[in-house]
A and B are shown apart, each in its own frame.
Chain A
């Protein structure tokens, strides 16, 4: 039997300081990193899915670069001992410019990491402060210099827009600085005011002035245009890259393929199931505990198909309907005739050459479109 391919996600839930807008699962309790490492390696070794060929590994967080690089090495060794890594195509790590050294980067390179995703967020030092980031603009430049010198060619920049008192000028300026650094990949996320964040409190207190929907739309359209001219195509709602440099790991998600998540709060999708690890750090590091699967969902045929649609429509190339029909045994055109025809008339979706995809206008109201495919 041919072994199936799999992506692996490793969660490092530590940050030196939490940013004011962030609601991801992360803590500044660095003193627990040792115990965490032990629990994480235990979890990897106990995996019952060792018969898979691993295609990608992704260290995310939190801030994976917040912990010593030898920890990353130990995790990687554990993975190598547990899984077949002989066909590994991409190993990514998320880094914060405020946490990197030459040595760390050299060790990453040595381990076999071949892609670095840099949380820049902005090139405007005032804005960085406003966001509660620990680094300055200068630090970003130094970091990228180090990354290049350590031998990495494939790196990605994360930027944000729709920030407090944001302007088109600031975004265009951020973009030109980003483009000048010639990254292979750029992600640009819109700010979301999330529950439980400092931003939420500030927003409720009227202290944050955010752009209107109309402003945001204009900003996104400028982003698309500027990046396109610079040679970056938008391949997903928030992601852009030079040809061939899509995030292979993230494509696994968007293609609704299987992946395993290790670490606090990580989700996995495998064997027609989704589940997540505990989100309580103390529970996770208590190795006396057997790891429980939370929010376990058995994915039935219909859910698999719907997931396939709402994920696939996030991609610019959309869904390959022939491929889709084989995989989910369903003719989308038939099943969603009404929805597709309605969205087509509104010019939000296009159906050409067996490819169903959202148009640029469709991306702006992607939720509206996707909801039409949910039962």
Chain B
């Protein structure tokens, strides 16, 4: 068994594209856990979607064995962290299971807002941080400038920062040595009662819900009775193992180790992330400090295009939830769309990913309604209700006032773009908080912004207006009263609940007009004329018309070639499958998200 002194637990903090996964692969390769020929590139990002988008969504862990220059063998547990703002919560989970972190910064890009936020989290968790400057092989690399930034912004000592190129492998050994020398070995008592922190869970069809744990004290092995601190539920351990990176059964996990516990747990809810596992026979007195539950910030409706797929959608959501506790859903009914689900997500990316997985992995055709934040509606009777769907907003006569969620956002940007970004923030109802020069050419802007503006198109706008140079991080900063109204859309005179949105009063007129014009382009001609109207209350503020389809016929003789005729009709049929029948009108999928994209062409 491994001595605590021979174990190092660490994670990697990096911005998207700064080379985290490639670096992890180099470490894995160097320590030889995985044969080179078995390495698909970016081993840690296992989902297709992760590899395609080049992001990490789901936590992964891996155990490596490294023979250091001092001649001793060490076991290194790398716990991967997602790099997107939506998944800050997951980052905090991996941090709590480690003693140290590699801070990976791109040698030409420098520090980004997101990285900064995660480093602060790591510092709060008392992690030892090793600065690693990556991509030094690039001609545009400026390691000195980046070092200076890290020192200025985060206040880390960069005198021993490691220069590396994950692409060429340069610096890999230096990193491994630094992990051994700088990151403290875990402390824990093997003889004390078991305390294991659940940092993730995963559902296995054969073994049930697996708890991914960091053992803080004691040990756990097959046959042992364990107890969940939060629920008091008891289970018998059927298997313990480590990540190599595939599950490998071991005899036991002891203090300092990272691994998984299988105990025939049927529901993932019974192995709550952040909970402490202890021994049922010899329980610890107090649990470990857990984490706050992840709170969904963005809600949207998910509806099957074909009503017959409702149960399939339900099954698929349940399956996804098994491995993603932050996904919330409950049944919802829309007059326009029929039966579906109101789903809560950590952010827009999380929402897109879930939607894409449902369509790809479960072969569902879905309508996603425009995302909404959670408003606090103060009613005239003194009660306060949380509203996550525009359709549920009470009639104005019962509403005293509405509060919307506000975020504190940190934007890092080259000084050339400060004006542009300030203008954008102003435009998005932002309130200036602070501006700070971290270097003569890089600025941190802090603004208070309505979350609804962030999920609307803020991020896209920020990226396009700064040519991709700005980075954004935000955290929820309470609710504030705001002048909000419900913007309804009527098709052929009927309010389509799924197209309603809650918008700021001053913007309702512009949004209404833009949305109506966008919908006119998206909704195909029907057999009859379809008026599209935008209304606030009973007042119509914009109107356009989709002309009736008059002619749709193949007036040509292709001889006996029916294949050609069929192809044409089948293509038409395919198009229809992406349409939702709303009353008499066929509305395409994209129309329900149009509210997000009305600025595309302006």
Contacts and interface: CB of A to CB of B under 8 A. Distances in A.
Contacts, number: 91
Interface in B531-570: 549-557, 559-563, 565-566, 568-570
B551 A364 contact: yes
B138 interface: no
A363 B553 contact: yes
Nearest to B568: A367
Given A189-B555, A365-B527, A371-B569, A217 B550 contact: yes
Contacts of B557: 187, 189, 238-239, 250
A365 B559 contact: no
A365 B552 CA distance: 4
A337 B568 CA distance: 24
A246 B557 CA distance: 14
A254 to B, nearest CB: 10
A297 B563 contact: yes
Interface string B408-448: 00000000000000000000000000000000000000000
B248 interface: no
Contacts of B563: 267, 274, 276, 295, 297
Contacts of A365: 527, 549-553
A178 interface: no
Contact of A237 (B550, B553, B569): B553
B551 A60 contact: no
A205 B495 CA distance: 41
A369 to B, nearest CB: 9
B559 A253 contact: yes
A274 B553 CA distance: 24
Contact of B549 (A237, A295, A368): A368
A367 B553 contact: yes
A233 B552 CA distance: 21
A346 B550 CA distance: 13
Contacts of B550: 213-214, 217, 364-365
Interface string A324-353: 000000000000000000000010000000
A196 interface: no
B551 A217 contact: yes
A253 B560 contact: yes
Contacts of B565: 310-311
Contacts of B561: 267, 276
Main secondary structure of the interface of A (DSSP, over half): mixed
B576 interface: yes
A8 B396 CA distance: 73
A243 interface: no
Contact of B553 (A259, A267, A346, A364): A364
Interface string A274-307: 1010000000000000000001010000000001
B572 interface: yes
B554 A367 contact: yes
Interface in B502-531: 527
A371 B554 CA distance: 12
- Tell me the dominant secondary structure on chain B's binding face: loop
Given A310-B565, A310-B569, A374-B570, A367 B552 contact: yes
B17 to A, nearest CB: 38
A238 B551 contact: no
A220 B551 CA distance: 10
A265 to B, nearest CB: 9
B233 interface: no
Nearest to A366: B553
A257 to B, nearest CB: 10
Interface in A209-257: 213-214, 216-217, 220, 237-239, 250, 252-253
A361 to B, nearest CB: 9
Given A310-B569, A371-B569, A371-B572, A366 B554 contact: yes
Nearest to B551: A213
A112 interface: no
A9 B559 contact: yes
Interface residues of A, number: 41
B527 A346 contact: yes
B483 interface: no
- The CB with the most chain B CB atoms within 10 A, among A213, A252, A261, A269, is that of A213
B360 interface: no
A115 to B, nearest CB: 15
A77 interface: no
A217 B551 CA distance: 7
A253 B563 CA distance: 12
A137 B556 CA distance: 23
A269 B568 contact: no
A238 B556 CA distance: 7
Nearest to B576: A371
A188 B556 CA distance: 9
Nearest to B562: A307
Contacts of A261: 559-560
A68 interface: no
B573 interface: yes
A117 B554 CA distance: 21
A214 B549 CA distance: 9
Contacts of A187: 557
B562 A238 contact: no
Contacts of B573: 371, 374
A346 B552 CA distance: 15
A253 B572 CA distance: 22
B556 A189 contact: yes
B585 to A, nearest CB: 14
A368 B552 contact: yes
Contacts of B559: 9, 60, 253, 261, 267
Contacts of A220: 555
Contact of A367 (B527, B560, B562, B572): B572
B566 A307 contact: yes
A239 B556 CA distance: 10
A151 interface: no
Contacts of B576: 371
Nearest to B553: A366
B548 to A, nearest CB: 10
A366 B555 CA distance: 10
A9 B569 contact: no
Contacts of B554: 192, 237, 366-367
Nearest to B570: A374
Interface string B308-320: 0000000000000
Nearest to A257: B560
Contacts of B572: 367-368, 371
A311 B563 CA distance: 11
A243 to B, nearest CB: 21
Given A366-B552, A367-B568, A259 B527 contact: no
Interface string B472-512: 00000000000000000000000000000000000000000
A276 B558 CA distance: 13
B579 to A, nearest CB: 11
- B527, B559, B566: most-surrounded residue (chain A CB, <10 A): B559
Contacts of A269: 560, 562
A192 B550 CA distance: 16
Interface string A58-83: 00100000000000000000000000
B551 to A, nearest CB: 4
A370 B557 CA distance: 16
A216 B551 contact: yes
Which 8 A/B pairs are nearest by Cβ-Cβ distance? Answer: A190-B555, A366-B553, A213-B551, A365-B552, A253-B560, A367-B552, A213-B550, A238-B555
15 contacts: A192-B554, A192-B555, A216-B551, A252-B560, A253-B562, A259-B560, A267-B561, A295-B563, A307-B562, A365-B550, A365-B551, A366-B554, A368-B552, A371-B572, A371-B576
Given A269-B560, A368-B572, 8 more contacts: A190-B556, A217-B551, A237-B555, A269-B562, A307-B566, A310-B569, A367-B553, A374-B570
Interface of B: 527, 549-557, 559-563, 565-566, 568-570, 572-573, 576
